[in-house]
Amino acid sequence: MLKADKPVKEQIEDKERVGMVEHILENNEVVLIGKVVSDIKFSHKVYGEGFYTFELEVPRLSSSADILPVTISERILPSIGNVQGKVLEVLGQFRSYNQYEEGKNRLILTVFILEVKEVSEQELAKNKNYIYLNGYVCKEPIYRTTPFGREITDLLLAVNRSYHKSDYIPCITWGRNARFAQNLAVGDHIQVWGRIQSRIYQKKLETGDTATKIAYEISISKMETVDENGNSSSSTEVLEAE
Q: What is the pLDDT of residues 75-85, one digit of tens each?
A: 999 888 889 99
- The CATH number for 43's domain is 2.40.50.140
Q: What is the pLDDT of residues 91-124, one digit of tens each?
A: 999 999 988 776 778 889 999 999 999 999 999 9
SS3 242: coil
Distance of CA 170 to the CA centre of its chain: 10
Which of 123, 154, 177 is the last residue in one of the domains?
123
Domains contained in the chain, number? 2
CB 71 within 8 A of CB 93: no
Output 41 or 236, whichever has higher pLDDT.
41
Name the pTM for this structure: 0.85
In a domain, 21, yes or no: no
**Domain hosting residue 89, numbered range:** 26-123
Q: Are residues 200 and 225 in the same domain?
A: yes
Query: Given this model, what pLDDT does residue 5 score?
Result: 55
Q: What is the pLDDT of residues 152-200, one digit of tens each?
A: 999 999 999 988 899 999 999 999 999 999 999 999 999 999 999 999 8
